[in-house]
Chains A and B, each alone.
Chain A
Amino acid sequence: MSIVDEQQRPAATSRTVVPVALDTVGVVSAAGVGLGPLADALRRGGADGGQPPATGEAESYPPLTLRPADFPAADLLGTKGLNRLTRAEQLGMAACTLALEPLSDRSGTGVVLGSAVGSSGGVGRFTRDTFVQERPYLVNPSAFPGTLMNAAAGRTAIRHGLTDANATVSGGPLASLHALRFARNTLVAGHARRLLTGGVEELSPQSAWVWYRAGSLAPRVALGEGAAVFALRTVPDGATGVNPLAHVMAVETGFAAGGPLAVARRLTICVRDAIARSGLGAADIAVVAPGAAGRRGWAAVEERALGAALDGPGHRHQLRVQEVLGETHGASVALQVAAVVARWHDPHLDTRGERAALVTSVGPDGSAGCAVLLHPHAGA
């Protein structure tokens, strides 16, 4: 028997979505820079990670396994002004810069980034100063813009002169999924020709202690960070000189206030709707990249929903991104999407038979959602 009460909620609009081309990827994570190292780490089942961001006198990390992003910020961004950027800004800007690099025509481009709160370390240190400085307003004025959630997207736009729609989207573990859906809808509605879309999350002592004290990490999962950004455009928008790495089909998100079972039901509905709106069937889903494995108690909720929506586990490849990169919260869905693309472009694998992939996530507040990606050889 299905766990979905079909009478409870109406189906989504049944209209098939128009595909959105995913032309380029910029990714920085514990696996390193780019799709190649990510594909290697996924095959190996682990990544070493870089050095954790420095701490101040008042901060240290809790006893958690950390999986910091491994990226040469100065090489990617230059040294000028680098130390004035928050870690979130460095990560987000690096991923956007990498995604933009292969594109010759940058006109009509905007930025849409998902993030839980922006720079957790930046906000924490700035707020701390209001308590510990001689006067509460004797904060560092140049640090103020970096405390805003939209700092990474704004600074990226400044660096590359990207004058179109520029949005920052929150939503915990679904932040990047919301960003993906926001970007899809915004492109299709004609508000931009291309959107650098993805998510960013920094590791900081402040965020690490929040995870530790809330006890919300799943056992044996590291706390990670990173950013993944994709250049998305609507397909009819013509030749860009770039062959898409994948197509983003339906992105469906929803909410259920009634606890984990209700969230599972909502995710089941989202997955069914997304597959149908992508013009596909459950049998076309060859790869699943689930997102809840890093959060204590939620993997079972997600698995239950997937089992119901896909009629059992089938012979699908499971991309276990959190095992490899750690829990990356607001960046996690973006890194799951990057993992799918990395797999599909891994020279050591033949994935041409994999028509489509499903990326899913659930959040502790009640949000659930998924995205369907189409293999570049499947044609959109």
Chain B
Amino acid sequence: MSDEASAAGRRVVVTGLGAVSSLGLGARAVTSAIRAGRSGIGPIGQFDGTGFERSLAGEVRGFHAEMHLRGTDPARWGRSGRFAAAAARMAVTDAGANPAALSAGRTASCFGTTNGESQVLEELTQQWVDDGLAALDPVLAGRGDAGRIAAAVSAELDLSGESVTLGTACAAGNYAIGYGFDLVRTGEADAALCGGADASNRATHAGFHRLGALAADVPRPFDEHRDGIVTAEGAAALLLEPLDTALARGARIYAEVLGYGMTCDARHMTNPDAASIAECIRRAHDHAGIKPGDVDYICAHGTGTKANDSTETAAVREVFTDGPPPISSIKSMLGHTMGAAAGFGALVCCAALSEGFLPPSATLREVDPALGPGLDCVQGRARATRPRIVQNHGFAFGGNNAVTIFGEFTA
């Protein structure tokens, strides 16, 4: 690290990973499923799928919050909050961190979401439809706030630092990680649990369905015959600590957070913009103090729509003028977990740096030739190789872009 960089604040590392996903519970389950190219996509079970012509989703199965939450009553929180709290608890356990020390320090909880406590809002709406607004359940009525996602994490771990939920749609996980990174780097927080969470719900499924953006079976990012996204749910959590603290307690270090960048397209609510994404990547590189040639792998936003692939690839080509590094999409296996998506990307990036692999685009058959020559999308299964610097993309409706950069930790 240069003197200039050290003047910018403390070095920040990722020491714990937690996940609640369609590919399993815990970071290890997710990582091994992704390395094997397994799919978490299956029939919708979280809401009544009757009448939908597209009825597959990446749902979390077999999750019993009471088996994971020790510090708070799961019944207090909505499904998104329970996911986040469980993932955060797993990240703390995974880190071998002392929960009492995290609780005693200024530990922040920063989580991103697209739809907040969408199942609570859906249940309230069902009550409205059935019996009128005057029949809303008073207890449920107090549980719809999106901010309860980060609050559930703070309550579970008895954290006293700030508890902030970023509603920056599908880039929100990267916003949360970037913000948590700045908090720890600048000393505003002693540590940060950050990531993203969202629950499956019929409004999101219906919205993408109506836009014609849902895939018939599985999402196939970068494939010539891709036909859309698959809605999904889950939560991913990262424990961020100052390097000094992590070294002092002999923690295993997955990766170092090197920097991040944010831009807004300011052009269209739903169509992404390549120039703005390219600028976001450049800002992330500048913030991390790296050059495009330093990046060994890109964890793509890669939703599975043509618009995403052509825009994302164009943006990458604009920045990586000597040719893009390998780029793949874990949404091929997880589906689109909305506000958790960039959190899962970050988690997998950390595992990739630590274990030495590149995550695959598991469902890819033929790379769309329209995306141009020489695009390495890591087809099929994970590739054993040791990346040193990786880049994680998150883009959203509303034109919100955020890119995080992680590096292999070397003492």
B164 and A130 form a contact (CB under 8 A): no
Report if A166-B262 is in contact (Cβ < 8 Å); known contacts: A144-B210, A175-B147, A189-B186: yes
A167 to B279, CA, bound (A): 17
A166 and B141 form a contact (CB under 8 A): no
A234 to B154, CA, bound (A): 30
A170 and B167 form a contact (CB under 8 A): yes
Chain B 373-404 interface mask (CB, 8 Å, partner A; 1/0):
00000000000000000000000111110000
Q: Which DSSP category, helix, strand, loop or mixed, fits chain B's interface?
A: mixed
A247 to B3, CA, bound (A): 32
Interface hits, B252-291 → A, CB 8 Å: 261-270, 276, 279, 283, 287
A1 sits at the interface (CB 8 A): no
Contact of B155 among A144, A166, A366 (CB under 8 A): A366
Q: B106 to chain A: which residues have CB within 8 Å?
A: 10, 12-13, 254
Contact of B116 among A149, A181, A182, A364 (CB under 8 A): A149
A145 and B397 form a contact (CB under 8 A): yes
B220 sits at the interface (CB 8 A): no
Q: A170 to chain B: which residues have CB within 8 Å?
A: 113, 116, 145-147, 149, 165-167
Contact of A185 among B159, B166, B182, B276 (CB under 8 A): B182
Return A364 CB to nearest CB of chain B, in Å: 7
Contact of B266 among A158, A186, A205 (CB under 8 A): A158
A153 sits at the interface (CB 8 A): yes
Chain B 164-196 interface mask (CB, 8 Å, partner A; 1/0):
111111000001000100110011100000000
Q: A128 to chain B: which residues have CB within 8 Å?
A: 125, 128-129
A266 sits at the interface (CB 8 A): yes
Which of chain B's residues has its CB closest to A215's CB? Answer: B138
Contact of B121 among A58, A117, A131, A175 (CB under 8 A): A117
A290 sits at the interface (CB 8 A): no
A9 sits at the interface (CB 8 A): yes
Chain B 125-140 interface mask (CB, 8 Å, partner A; 1/0):
1101100011011110
Contact of A253 among B138, B162, B276, B396 (CB under 8 A): B162
Contact of B145 among A116, A141, A205 (CB under 8 A): A116
Q: Which of B23-31, B199-207, B358-366 contacts A (4 or more CB under 8 A)?
A: B199-207
Report if A367-B163 is in contact (Cβ < 8 Å); known contacts: A165-B262, A185-B179: yes
A211 to B138, CA, bound (A): 9
A256 to B104, CA, bound (A): 12
A210 and B141 form a contact (CB under 8 A): yes
Contact of B129 among A131, A151, A189 (CB under 8 A): A131
Interface hits, B49-99 → A, CB 8 Å: 50-53, 71-72
Report if A9-B160 is in contact (Cβ < 8 Å); known contacts: A150-B397, A205-B133: yes
Return A168 CB to nearest CB of chain B, in Å: 4
A261 to B263, CA, bound (A): 41
Return B307 CB to nearest CB of chain A, in Å: 14
Q: A160 to chain B: which residues have CB within 8 Å?
A: 266
Which of chain A's residues has its CB closest to B130's CB? Answer: A131
Residue of B122, B154, B400 most packed against chain A (CB within 10 A): B400
A110 and B155 form a contact (CB under 8 A): no
A154 and B51 form a contact (CB under 8 A): no
Q: A205 to chain B: which residues have CB within 8 Å?
A: 133
Which of chain B's residues has its CB closest to A135's CB? Answer: B51
Which of chain A's residues has its CB closest to B109's CB? Answer: A255
Q: Which of A36-44, A118-126, A331-339 contacts B (4 or more CB under 8 A)?
A: A118-126
B209 sits at the interface (CB 8 A): yes
Chain A 53-80 interface mask (CB, 8 Å, partner B; 1/0):
0000011101000000000000000000
B165 and A169 form a contact (CB under 8 A): yes
A164 and B264 form a contact (CB under 8 A): yes
B269 and A151 form a contact (CB under 8 A): yes
B250 sits at the interface (CB 8 A): no
Which of chain A's residues has its CB closest to B269's CB? Answer: A145
Return B403 CB to nearest CB of chain A, in Å: 12
Which of chain B's residues has its CB closest to A151's CB? Answer: B398
B134 and A153 form a contact (CB under 8 A): no
B276 and A163 form a contact (CB under 8 A): yes
B162 and A181 form a contact (CB under 8 A): yes
Chain A 102-122 interface mask (CB, 8 Å, partner B; 1/0):
000000001100011110000
A304 sits at the interface (CB 8 A): no
Q: A188 to chain B: which residues have CB within 8 Å?
A: 186
A213 and B137 form a contact (CB under 8 A): yes
Which of chain A's residues has its CB closest to B396's CB? Answer: A150
A169 to B164, CA, bound (A): 7
Residue of B133, B161, B276, B287 most packed against chain A (CB within 10 A): B133
B144 sits at the interface (CB 8 A): yes
Which B residues contact A (CB, under 8 angstroms)?
A: 50-53, 71-72, 104-106, 109, 113-116, 121-122, 124-126, 128-129, 133-134, 136-139, 141-142, 144-151, 154-155, 158-169, 175, 179, 182-183, 186-188, 202-203, 205-207, 209-211, 261-270, 276, 279, 283, 287, 396-400
A-B contact pairs, 21 of them (CB 8 A): A117-B145, A123-B121, A127-B203, A136-B52, A141-B207, A141-B210, A148-B115, A157-B266, A167-B168, A170-B166, A171-B150, A185-B182, A185-B188, A206-B128, A211-B141, A215-B138, A253-B163, A255-B151, A255-B163, A367-B151, A369-B162
Contacts A185-B186, A365-B145 given; 9 further ones with Cβ under 8 A? A60-B133, A117-B116, A136-B209, A139-B210, A150-B398, A153-B400, A257-B155, A365-B155, A366-B154
Which A residues contact B (CB, under 8 angstroms)?
A: 9-10, 12-13, 15, 58-60, 62, 110-111, 115-118, 123-124, 126-132, 135-141, 144-145, 147-151, 153-155, 157-158, 160-172, 174-175, 178, 181-182, 185-186, 188-189, 191, 205-206, 209-211, 213-216, 253-257, 266, 363-367, 369
